[in-house]
Amino acid sequence: MIKILSILLFISISLNSNASQSMRRCMLLPVKDSIGGALGFKVFEEVERYLKTSDWCYYKSNSEIINILGNYKRNLNEYLHNPDVLKVVAEKTKAGSIIRVEIVSEGKGVDVKMTVLGDNGSDVYYKDNLKLTSNDPVVIGQTVKNWLDQFEKNIPYDGRILGILGNQFTVDFGKSYGVFINDSIDVIRPIKKKRHPLFKEIVDWETEKLASGRVFYVSPTQAQGKIDKYETRKRVEVDDWVILKKDDNTQKADLLKIPYGQEGGKNDYSFGKLGTVGIFGVLSSSKVSSSTGSATNSLSGLLMGVNLEAEVWATRNYWGSLELGANFGSQKKSSGNLSIDSNSTTNSKFKLKLGYRYLPLGFFYGPQLDAYAGYAKYTYGHDDLSADKIGEVTFSGLILGGRGSIPLMKKFRAHLSLEFMLTSSYNEDTLLYGEDESSSNYSIEIGGSHNYSPNMDIDGGIEFNSNKAKFSGGRSMSLKDTAFKGGVRFNF
């Protein structure tokens, strides 16, 4: 009499494109059998131990999924053979592949079968089975591990691209995978799956070569490369496949700390002096207030303008930037006893910054924290209303600031920045109040960006800027702007 032990072991192996982990993620789901789980638990331990020590798999348990599947004890076998259920499991665990192991008891032995499925729950990537004369969980577990090793060798790529910036990219393999600086790579894209006509298994992939290049930076779990040559008009995208082409000379050069192909101290694959150039349209709500102690006059209105921003990276962590902006329009009287009802104005700004960029996760496409210092100058070019204590004034000085940027989705980022003047200086074009007692400035910006293409981002945000000067006798002048800006930023 054949005794069926419905031991269903699922191991999810995926590429995690989140910033927290980029290695293939493995997850061991519950093992069910008909003898109280004794055999299944031991097999579970064997495979889990293997996954935790595997070089090509990052193991992470998921108690939520275990609890969900734990509610299907009676129909677990049926549910885990249902493609729709498997698809839901893959979506919840972000699994790229699902491996199903079934064990059927036959007398003194067992029949072991393993099927590797795609994340849609139906594509078959790998399938094998074997009859064992032993029901020892160690032997069963070793059989499963041998098949997993074979499956790893059949994976049609070495890694996937996590992020792209111009002709540079980050890929999800590193030193632990045996990658060396100056290793050659090919970037390919899967076009079509090729299935066996009888067994419906996926036996091959139809692919298209997009580009070739070299690795110039390696960390334990990630690497960065630079594309040398494009094979088609298509550009590289996130999740494209990367094939590593090993070369004995590049390995020896890396071990000797001598960049392969370097001549005269120049390394063509160093990070280089790259950066961004952005152009933005600006709609600004601007207000100027002048107080004489007993009365306050103010003008406000909408201004339109343009911002130009350029940033250059000297290394992966050190950068410099230049920002120019100008707004034009007119303001109307909003309070006080002004001699006119409206006045035209031309406001401008100039910023020069030098900063350090901290990469918490070690690669350029994850979270970024910037600290910077520099010089800024704000000019408010109001037409002369000296009788109303309003005219052209300038605030300038050394600035100190910080900026944080974090990826929210695959191609979307959010940022927040705060800066203020350490040594604010106030100047008047015509005599209004005279020398100030103190002046101050601060600026806050919040926004986001969308990576529209490898070389272009759509960027936007809200910037709040405030300048204020105080004078003797309780007199003061303040100028505030709330600017909505949007535009494009190009990588070079």
Q: What gap in Å lies between CA 309 and CA 276, rounded to an integer?
A: 8
Q: What gap in Å lies between CA 480 and CA 338, rounded to an integer?
A: 19
Binning pLDDT at 50, 70 and 90, where does residue 20 land? Answer: very low
Q: Which amino acid is at 351?
A: K
* Residue pLDDT, tens place only, 47-59: 778 777 776 665 6
Q: How many CB atoms within 10 Å of residue 444?
A: 15
Q: Give the whole-number percent of the chain exceeding pLDDT 70.
A: 77
> Which pLDDT does position 492 carry in this prediction?
77
* Residue pLDDT, tens place only, 173-213: 888 777 888 889 999 888 877 766 555 666 667 788 899 99
On the question of pLDDT at 15 being above 90, the answer is no
On the question of pLDDT at 278 being above 80, the answer is yes
> Which pLDDT does position 281 carry in this prediction?
95
On the question of pLDDT at 259 being above 90, the answer is no
* 16-30, 179-193, 294-308: the lowest-pLDDT one: 16-30
* Residue pLDDT, tens place only, 410-430: 678 999 999 999 988 998 888
Long-range pairs, 422-426, Cβ under 8 A, ≥24: 422/397, 422/398, 423/397, 423/398, 424/395, 424/396, 424/397, 424/467, 425/395, 425/396, 425/397, 426/393, 426/394, 426/395, 426/469
